[in-house]
Structure 1
Amino acid sequence: MMKQSIYLTLSLALSLTLASCSGDKLSKESVLPPVSEQRSELDRWCQEHITRPFQAEVIYRWDRNHAERSTHTYPPRLEQVRPVLEALEATVLSLYRDKQFFTSSDFIPAHPLLRIYLYGGANRDGQGVDLLFNRKAPSIELYIYNVDSFSPTSQVEVYRLIRSAQHQIGRHLMTIHPYDHDRFLSLGPDRYSSTTEPFADAYRSYEKSGRLREGLGLNRYAYSRGFYSILGMLGAREDLAEMYSVTLTETPAAITQAEQDAAVPDDANGDEDAKRRYAEEAKVAHETFVQKRAFLSKYIEEAWRIPLQRLQLQSLQLMNQYLDKHHATQP
């Protein structure tokens, strides 16, 4: 009898509830504000210019879970977000929508980046080295640092933005089209380091002396060791992506000059033992540089079916058009 009483009570309550609901009229107006009102003007611009054409969600609001613990990153100033994205769209993203190069279904936006994260400050590691990329992030995510210091009138800042983006997009495309990692690794495995400690002083010296652009790209410290950039010394994956990024932001003449300079030994100051050692080091550096350059060109042409030099010239044209438009100057 007790169970029957409980069932009757529940049935009565349910009937009354349904009867009450059937008599109510649902409001035609949502209690939530329209989507357009939830978004800011900046959000709508990001949606129109980045998310829709490139399928990448833009995330500029602070999320500590997506900042490495060892970095000194912080949220970007809102007024800086759009100028950075405009530069990214004009100099980098538009390159990968150019049908004269990327006609295959294997390229962006067929295999788009998933998210683009923006941070106000630098991505400095424990050695104080300003890394251009997040080494732990998946290749489908693009991380843009130094947003607050960006200026469209600064050649150095524009160069740093493009170098960072091209490195990360290059790594993304190299994941889609794998390269012979073991073969590339064999060109210089004993020179890689898992941390920036061995070259931190050299990197910071360029930054402190006002030669940041040189420090980020081709410089004697790097190419005298067979690298296109100092950051390429972090590992084979970083090295090849750095080579790709540097190639797309430096002229063919500049890369050829670096290759030739790599063969020039350091001054031994009359020390015959040092002279022989420096000559051997220069020989190895030059051979490594030449072999890596040939590897990258062959890989891009065979796997991507694009001549690397054509891609390089188009990238340089986009960068120079942007710099000319904004009358960018050296610091």
Structure 2
Amino acid sequence: MKSIYKILVALAVAYTFQGCNKEDKLNYKIENPDEFTAGELDKWISTNLTDPYNIEVIYRYQRNMHDVNKNISPPDEAKVQPQMQVVIDGFLDVYKNVGGATFMKTYTPKQFALFGSGNYETDGSVVAGTADGGRRVTLYGLNNLNVNSVSSVMGNLGTIHHEFVHILNQTRMIPEDFLLITIGDYYANWTNTTQNSVKISRELGFISPYARKNVGEDFAEVMSTLITDGQAYYDSYSANSGELGNSRLKAKEAVVRDYVQRNFGMELVDIQREFQKTMEEKYGSRDFKFSTAVSKGFIKSINLDSRQPWALSRGVSAKQSNITEAVLNGVGNYVVRGLNLRFIDAGKATLDVLFATDASTTNIWTASYDFTITTNNDVFSFALAATQGTGNPYDYAKFGYIVSDVNPIIDYFKSTSFKYDYMAGDADPNILENYKKYGGLIDVKNSANTIYGQLNFK
């Protein structure tokens, strides 16, 4: 037995020395044997992205392009061109049309790295994208993109615009004024819904719970939300975030607008309009229409009091003056303090006449009239509801001296149908206070008959 052991040891030692012989050559090639041949997709990328913008699209799997501790799948190659067409339509062309080709060639990310699956964090959140070094945007979840779904495209572009803001911030710093608005209220563990619910975050002045993570995400969320979700969404979210939340969200909006204008010579409102135009014309989006803002509850009411400064400076249609003149001149012996059309939901509206004994008293009464709204291909018809509500506002609405003055409005609404829209030209969109702040009804029988007013979001 000992002899066998000695023989085995001797053989092992001999094999070891033989294996370490410096004269032996390793017959193995360590270089990557794959040979890259450009296909039709690569040619398309070169023509549409690399040549005009010097953008490289990395879609062949490279593990070093993501956290090596995570398992992330490569993209479905069939999704790559549709994804990058979305980038061209809803991002590159939008900024190019507003800021010019030079702006895009200067500031656009030079790499887009694409991955098929989501980038899952240990806290359960999913990273949709990242921006690195002022150069690269990495997009995850590409295999879920559906270019025939407006919501899918909008979500994708929300990520792209958010990450581009980070790219801009890496070349032009976030203003200190922005940080000071909610300094002390940032919360790194943003997925903790107990400490950072939607209600808590918005009342502190954050446009989303994620915005509360840090000042960089906050700035990117504000700017990208204004672009991809639109002004009506932002105004509604802000107005319904409490007094503190509203003041902070509007302050952040003002800083973001100034940042874009001062650093890049563009007006954010022009970027908003260009993005919305693209989404409507190329992807059939209805997200930015007045009717959508009403149906989603963003727009709560229209102030139809044409005695207000906005109406005096811009004027209202002859039809609007005609049907509201009687009620605005006073009901009975009372002064009318306001005239509002409230949208309860997509199928119901209420006309409120606010009246008082004089123009200064705080004791104001309301007479209310409910209307049903029927919709047919974006045409809206109003009819006085057969069953009215109960309570004082509806009792006051029965007073003869009020009914007689409101009847011209009721009769006109009954005689025609309307389209919803914002005031023509958005009431000078280059003035922030006017953009998407005025709108109303356009008579389908005579487009000169408009019933416009100031929009309320709360």
Normalised to the residue count of structure 2, the TM-score between the two structures is 0.51
Residue 151 (structure 2) aligned to one of 131, 148, 156: 156
User: Who is 1:317 aligned against?
Assistant: 277
How far, CA to CA, are the matches of 2:205 and 2:49 in structure 1? 37
Query: One-letter code of the match for 2:208?
Result: S
Unaligned 5+ runs, structure 2: 1-34, 286-458
CA contact (8 A) 1:70 1:126 kept: no
- Report SS of the residue matched to 1:116: strand
User: Who is 2:184 aligned against?
Assistant: 190
Question: For 1:203-218, what aligned pairs fall within 5 Å after superposition?
Answer: none
1:301 aligns with 2:295: no
1:165 aligns with 2:164: no
User: Who is 2:232 aligned against?
Assistant: 253
Question: For 1:1-331, what aligned pairs fall within 5 Å after superposition?
Answer: 38-69=37-68, 71-98=70-97, 101-103=98-100, 105=102, 107-134=103-130, 137-180=132-175, 182-199=176-193, 222-263=201-242, 283-324=243-284
Q: 1:246 to 1:46 in 2, by over 3 A?
A: same
How far, CA to CA, are the matches of 2:184 and 2:137 in structure 1? 29
How far, CA to CA, are the matches of 1:184 and 1:71 in structure 2? 34
CA contact (8 A) 1:60 1:76 kept: yes
How far, CA to CA, are the matches of 1:127 and 1:231 in structure 2? 13
Query: One-letter code of the match for 1:121?
Result: S
CA contact (8 A) 1:188 1:288 kept: yes
Q: 1:292 to 1:74 in 2, by over 3 A?
A: same
Query: One-letter code of the match for 2:268?
Result: L
CA contact (8 A) 2:190 2:209 kept: no
CA contact (8 A) 1:50 1:57 kept: yes
- Report SS of the residue matched to 2:46: helix
Q: 1:195 to 1:70 in 2, by over 3 A?
A: farther
- Report SS of the residue matched to 2:105: coil
How far, CA to CA, are the matches of 1:144 and 1:322 in structure 2? 22
Q: 1:201 to 1:183 in 2, by over 3 A?
A: closer
Greater C-alpha Rg = 2
Query: One-letter code of the match for 1:123?
Result: N
Q: 1:201 to 1:187 in 2, by over 3 A?
A: closer
How far, CA to CA, are the matches of 1:82 and 1:183 in structure 2? 40
Report how far residue 129 of structure 1 moved: 0.9
Unaligned 5+ runs, structure 1: 1-34, 204-218, 264-282, 326-331
How far, CA to CA, are the matches of 1:152 and 1:123 in structure 2? 21
User: Who is 2:365 aligned against?
Assistant: none
Report how far residue 258 of structure 1 moved: 1.0
CA contact (8 A) 1:54 1:109 kept: yes
CA contact (8 A) 2:182 2:204 kept: no
Query: One-letter code of the match for 2:167?
Result: H
How far, CA to CA, are the matches of 2:220 and 2:172 in structure 1? 13
Q: 1:299 to 1:132 in 2, by over 3 A?
A: same
Deviations along 1:268-288, one digit per CA (max 9) or x if unpaired, are: xxxxxxxxxxxxxxx332222
How far, CA to CA, are the matches of 1:201 and 1:69 in structure 2? 31
Query: One-letter code of the match for 2:99?
Result: F
* Greater relative CO, 1 or 2 (CA 8 Å, sep 6+): 1
Runs of 4+ with deviation above 3 angstroms: 69-72, 199-203, 219-222
CA contact (8 A) 1:139 1:168 kept: no
User: Who is 1:19 aligned against?
Assistant: none
- Report SS of the residue matched to 1:248: helix
- Report SS of the residue matched to 1:134: strand
Query: One-letter code of the match for 1:102?
Result: G
Normalised to the residue count of structure 1, the TM-score between the two structures is 0.69
Query: One-letter code of the match for 1:186?
Result: L
* Equivalenced residues, count: 251
CA contact (8 A) 2:57 2:111 kept: yes
Query: One-letter code of the match for 1:254?
Result: Y
Q: Give the CA RMSD over aligned residues.
A: 2.5
CA contact (8 A) 1:222 1:229 kept: yes
How far, CA to CA, are the matches of 1:200 and 1:244 in structure 2? 26
